[in-house]
Amino acid sequence: MPSTALPDIRRGWLLALALTVFAVAPLTYPGFFQARSGFLPVFRAEQTVNLSGGPVRGEGPLPYRLIGPPARSAGGVAAVKIGYGIAFWLGALGVYAWTHRWLGSKGAVLAATLYTYLPWHLHTVYVRGAYAEAWLWAFWPWLFWSLDRLSGEEPGQVLAGVLVGLPTLAAVFWTQAGLAALALPLLVSYGALVPARRLRAAALLLVPIPLWFVARRAAEAPLPFADHFLYPFQLFSAAWGDEAFQLGVAAVGLTIVAVAVWAGRKPGPPLRSALRFWPIALAVVVLLTLPPAAPFWRLTGLDALLTYPWQVLALSGLPLAFLGGAVTRLDERLAAPPLWAGLLALTILAGYPYLAPDFTQVDPGPAPVALFRPVEADTPQIMLLQTDIEPPTILTPTLTLTLTWQAVAPVAGDYTVFIHALDAEGRKIAQRDARPCDGDCPTDTWQPGKIIVDVHPLTLPPEAVDRVRQLAVGLYLWQSGDRAAVSGRDDDTVILHVP
C-alpha cells in the first residue's frame, strides 16, 4: 500500500469512530435504560443471575467475561454500558476496515455510519437490550475482513486473516451459537467470491457439520417458532416501539440507489462480484423472516437455532452497509465533500429518533431481591428489584411496603400480591392482598423492561405495632390460588426483615 494512502486511512478510521458519538451518547446518561431485557444483562455481568435461554438460542458467556473487570470495579450497570459502547466502536471500525478495500475511504466511512445507525442495530441495544447480539454486530465485519485478507497473495495478509479470523469465529460461537451457525453459509458464500480457490471446496463441504452439531444441542423451543414470522410491511413501517423491525430509510434508500446505478454503469470485476452477491444475500436474509420461509425452517431443522425467525435480521446490517456505502464508489459525484457530508448527516438523522430510550434511576445492586416464575412459565419472568419498608409507629400503626418490579417477558396471568406481617416466632399478625398499584397496573399488562413501583400500606393492630419483625411477600392467581414460584425458595415467598 502506498505510504501516501496511510494518512487517508487513518483519517477515515478516526472519522468512522467519531461519527458513532450520537449512538453512544445515550449510554452516558445517568441510570439505566428500560430495555426489554431489563436489568438481566447487569445481573449476568455481576454473575448473580443466569437466564440465558440455553447454550444455542441464549446468550453465551463471552460478552459478559469481557466486561468482568469493569463490573467488579464500577458495578454492573456501568460495565454493561461500557460493553455496549465498545461494541458500537468495534462494529464501526470493523466495517470501515473491511469495506475500505472495496469502496475506498469515503465509501467505507459511509458504510460504517450506516451500520452504526441502522434501526435494527439501535433496536437491539436500546429497545431489546440484547447484549450478546450487540457484540455479534461488533464481530461480524471482522470475519469478512479476515476472509479478504486470506485471499491476499502476501504471506503477511494471509497470516493476519488467520490470526484475526479464527479467534473471531470462536468468539461469535461463544457469544450466541445459534446466530453464529446461521452466519456460516453467508461467510462461505462470500468466501467463494475471493480469488483464493483453496477456501471454496473445503468450506462448502464443512458448513453442514457445525450447523447440524449446534442444532442438535438446542433445547426445546420455549415459544412456537412459526407464530413469529414478519409481515413485509413491518420491514418498512414508520412505527417504532417494542415490536418494530424497520430496516432503515437511509440504508434501504441508498441500497436502491446503488443497485440502480450499478445496473447502468457496470463497474470492474471485483466490485461487480460483490454488488451481485450482497443484494442476493440481503434478499435471502429478509425472506427468512417472512411466512413463505416456514417450510425451509421446518424441513431443515434450523428453527432449533433461534427463538424467533426475525433474529436473522442481525445479519442484515452487512449487506445494507456495503451497498449503501457503495454509492460513492459507483457515482463519484456523491463522493464530493458536500454531497458526501450530506449523506453522512442524512444517515445519522434517519437513526436519531431511535436514540431516546426511557431511563430509570433505580439501582438494584448486584442482584435482584427475588425472581418469580409464573405458574404457566418455564423460567422466571418477574424480578423484584428493590423493597423499601416504612415501619409503623405508635401514632401511625401503618406499615408501608414499596415494591419495585420489572418483568423480562410478557406475563400471562393477573397476579395478586400477598403481604403477611410476622412476629419473631413467624406468627401472622396482619395481612394484605391486593393487585399491584391497587389494580391500576395488573401484571398481565406489564411491558418487559418497564419499572413498576407498587406501594402497599398495611394497617396493623395497635397492640402489635412493635411486634412486626418480618414480611412474607409473594404472588398468586386469585382465580385458583396458585402461587408464582420464587427461585431458591420452597414456600414461594420472599422474606423481608422489618427495620
All three cell numbers of 180, joined, read: 453464529
Burial class of 6 by CB neighbour count within 10 A (0 to 12, 13 to 18, 19+):
exposed
Which residues of the chain fall short of a pLDDT of 50? 1-4, 195-198, 200-201, 204-205
Domain locations along the chain: 5-360, 370-497
Q: Closest Cα to residue 300, out of 181, 192, 205?
A: 181
pTM for the model stands at 0.91
- SS3 for 376? coil
Alpha-carbon torsion, ordered 72, 34, 419, 498, to 10 deg: 40
Burial class of 121 by CB neighbour count within 10 A (0 to 12, 13 to 18, 19+):
buried
Q: Which CATH class is domain 370-497?
A: mainly beta
| 3 state SS for 115-184 | HHHCHHHHHHHHCCCCHHHHHHHHHHHHHHHHHHHHCCCCHHHHHHHHHHHHHHHHHHHHHCHHHHHHHH
> Any residues with CB less than 8 A from the CB of 493 and at least 6 apart, and which?
472, 473, 474, 486
Query: What are the tens digits of pLDDT across the range 53-71?
Result: 655 667 888 999 999 888 8
- DSSP letter, residue 26: G
Q: DSSP strand E in 184-337: where?
A: none
- SS3 for 374? coil
- SS3 for 404? strand
Residues written for the chain: 499
Q: What is the pLDDT of residue 135?
A: 97
> Any residues with CB less than 8 A from the CB of 2 and at least 6 apart, and which?
none
In whole angstroms, what is the distance from residue 453 CA to residue 353 CA? 28
Q: Closest Cα to residue 384, out of 472, 307, 317, 297?
A: 472
* Pairing between β-strand 415-422 and β-strand 470-477 as defined by DSSP bridges: antiparallel
CB 328 within 8 A of CB 335: yes
CB 324 within 8 A of CB 111: yes
In whole angstroms, what is the distance from residue 326 CA to residue 258 CA? 6
DSSP string of 330-343, one letter each residue: H-GGGGSHHHHHHH
